[in-house]
Amino acid sequence: MTDNQLSTATARFAGWVTRSEGKKFLQLRSDVPEPAIPLGKGGRDDWASLYIHIPFCRTLCPFCCFNRYLFDETQARRYFANLKKEVGFYVDRGFRFSDFYFGGGTPTVLMDELLDFIDFLKKNFKVRQISMETTQREINPEVIAALKKAGVNRLSIGVQSFDNDLLKAMGRLVGTGEDAIEKLKMAQGQFDTVNADFIFNFPTQTIDQFKKDVATFKERGIDQATFYPLMPSPHKKSRLERRFHKVDTSREKEFYDVILKELYQGGYKASTAWCFSRGNRLIDEYIIDYDDYIGVGAGSVGFLNGDFFVNTFSLGKYDEMIAGGKLPIVSWRRLSEREHLRYYMLTKLFGMSLDPEKFRQRFNGDVNRKLFWELSFFKMLGLVKQNKNITVTPKGMYTLCVMQKEFFAALNTLRESYIDGQI
């Protein structure tokens, strides 16, 4: 077996285990205890982050694996009002936050409501950091100035590819590759971090197209790029959407090797196994920076000390539950200690480093003992090494990329059933 074959086989095996583990997250209970969420920790704002999901877009990309709906202004205004109420429920329970991650959908789709919502956060919390997702279509000098003034530190613009033929094949209607370059240039330097999202392993995408995308990203001197391996999309209404229901992974490693060679070995820092930055930058992964997080909005999930919570994906139900004064949580699961340990290991190693001391504080034990089999496997194959921290080696990066993707793929199965059933 060549090194490359071994690396692919290892990643597939670890991915398969992760998907099986991820499926356990889906064995959810709908008898959500009342109140579902424990009390916040005495007003401390440094232990959990807040993820805010804005599920509206002006056009819907067929490949997209997130909970998103076609933008409707009246509905979106009602949604923002509900979001404030939902955050208020957490404040009433003693929660305080300082780091905020807006994801979507397209959070900037209705700027006046978004800015008003950020004001609301500032009135209630000491805001330290805000990360915001958007698309190139939303970006113009006024929007950039407004987001900057509101205190957004990290702006992430979905590009997917600069190649117009590929964008067309993707059914991505937010603008051309040239336009994306223009908008990135407009944003670059205006925020602590500007990130561009790309997708790889798309069915018609060639390695050459991808190499050009990576080269263009480097030439333009953008702070950060996140490369998402194509993941199955749960939406199946149109023929195009059905096409992304299953994903062929045979060329995936070839794409990933381009990223490793051009960026990782080209002086970029791996902030995660699929996010590469010039220097130290903020990242979008609230699951890595924080062990615990709350998700608000339709289709968000939360994780608190071993309990996994899922909000309703349905806009109608979201309205109803908030109007009834209830947290819109429709299912939950308490992880076993083993599941919790493995989830912790996955998220930290996906973020490239696991700190044994922090592990000890959370789990009251030694990481090499509690995760003996898992870490022995990783160490034996040279995927991680341990000095003070346990860090992922270049050899291990593709395995972590596949493991995270498989975990998300399992979550997509959940998304699919919740979107289909409007749960």
Annotate 203-224 with DSSP letters as a single string: TT--HHHHHHHHHHHHHTT-SE
Smallest distance from ligand SAM to CB 227, Å: 8
Work out whether 101 is an interface residue with ligand SF4 (CB under 6 A). Answer: no
Closer by beta carbon to ligand SF4, 66 or else 198: 66
Count of positions on this chain that bind ligand SF4 (CB under 6 A) = 11
68 binds ligand SF4 (CB under 6 A): yes
Q: How far is the CB of 338 from ligand SAM (least distance, A)?
A: 29
Packing angle of the helix pair 394-420, 252-259 (nearest 10 deg) = 120
Q: How far apart are CA 134 and CA 376, in angstroms?
A: 41
Residue 297 sits in the site that holds ligand SF4 (CB under 6 A): no
User: Which of 178, 169, 176 is CA-nearest to residue 202?
Assistant: 169
Residues 46-105 that bind ligand SAM (CB under 6 A): 57, 63-66, 104
Contact residue for ligand SF4 among 15, 40, 105, 295 (CB under 6 A): 105
Question: Residue 402 contacts by C-beta under 8 Å, 6 or more apart in sequence?
Answer: 11, 12, 14, 15, 18, 229, 252
Shortest distance in whole angstroms from residue 159 CB to ligand SF4? 11
x-marked contacts with ligand SAM along 196-235 as a string, rule CB under 6 A: -x-x----------------------------x-xx-x--
161 makes contact with ligand SAM (CB under 6 A):
no
Type of residue found at 162: F
Out of ligand SF4, ligand SAM, none, which partner does residue 231 contact, by CB within 5 to 8 A per kind? ligand SAM
Q: Contact region for ligand SF4 (CB under 6 A) — 64-72, 113-121, 124-132, 304-312?
A: 64-72
For 87, the enclosing helix (H) or strand (E) is helix 73-92
> What would the DSSP string read from start to end of 300-311?
-EEEETTEEEEE
**What's the CA gap between 88 and 71, in Å, rounded?**
25
The two tokens of residue 12 are: 């597939």
Give the DSSP letter string of 3-35: HHHHHHHHHHHHHHHHHHHHHHHT--BS---SS
138 binds, among ligand SF4, ligand SAM, none (CB under 5 to 8 A by kind): none
Binding site for ligand SF4 (CB under 6 A): 57, 60-61, 64, 66, 68, 104-106, 135, 158
Question: Which residues contribute to the site for ligand SAM (CB under 6 A)?
Answer: 57, 63-66, 104, 106, 133, 135, 158, 160, 197, 199, 228, 230-231, 233
